[in-house]
Amino acid sequence: DTEVTQTPKHLVMGMTNKKSLKCEQHMGHRAMYWYKQKAKKPPELMFVYSYEKLSINESVPSRFSPECPNSSLLNLHLHALQPEDSALYLCASSPKSISDTQYFGPGTRLTVL
Amino acid sequence: QKEVEQDPGPLSVPEGAIVSLNCTYSNSAFQYFMWYRQYSRKGPELLMYTYSSGNKEDGRFTAQVDKSSKYISLFIRDSQPSDSATYLCATHTGRRALTFGSGTRLQVQP
């Protein structure tokens, strides 16, 4: 298995909703990432987990809450989002650390109404 | 000044043409260089990975790194309509997360 999977593919939510994005990889990778990508822009790093511990938080608002329950799973919990948070949310993983090549999932397209 | 500069395009070429995509960077500590291909509304897909200077070839794709001029290139031979996508260069020092270029949108016309 050489892929990163993400669910759901699409998500529409209101500003008062709570939802979660899920990411899974079975490549034995120990670093996992959340990125946000707006249209026609490169991905922007949000969070990095290394060996299931949060190692980088790029000053992301607290309405985004990451969680790494085990070495294969990464969640992003969403609460009280704003319309400007609408974007493609990408998960990635790399074998050991941020110095390794990253492999991306297909993304979750989020729309906040 | 951005750490990695990339012309956003769009770059439009006829089918069969040789495509040259380029990035420049400013941080001489960058050592690892990648090219990702991203189709519309999909996640980036790793195409090429190189360490330090030199060339790397994989099928129709050749990645080239010139550290002396801080210039990285991706060449696509015999381009196909299925190559139409956004191409992102990316790099890192080995101690930090990836730094991406802004992406070049490529259109290969049949």
Token pair of A95, please? 């074998």
DSSP B22-56: EEEE--TT--EEEEEEE-TTS--EEEEEEESSEEE
Return the residue of B nearest to A107 by Cα. B43
* B contact set with A (CB within 8 A): 8, 32, 34, 36, 41-46, 49, 88, 92-98, 100-103, 105
Q: Which of A52-66, A83-97, B4-18, B84-98 has the lowest average pLDDT?
A: B84-98
CA distance A23 to chain B (A): 13
Reported as type and span, the H/E element at residue B58 is strand B54-58
Does residue A1 register a pLDDT over 60?
Answer: no
What type of residue sits at position A3? Answer: E
Q: What is the pLDDT of residue A108?
A: 97
Residue A56 with chain B: CB contacts under 8 Å: 97
Q: Which of A78-87, A101-110, B46-55, B72-81 has the lowest average pLDDT?
A: B46-55
Please answer whether residues B32 and B48 qualify as being in contact, where contact means their C-beta atoms are separated by less than 8 angstroms: no
Q: What is the pLDDT of residue B31?
A: 87
Rounded-to-integer distance, Cα A86 and Cα A95, Å:
29
Return the residue of A nearest to B96 by Cα. A98
Give mean pLDDT, residues A82-102. Answer: 91
Residue A88 with chain B: CB contacts under 8 Å: 41, 43
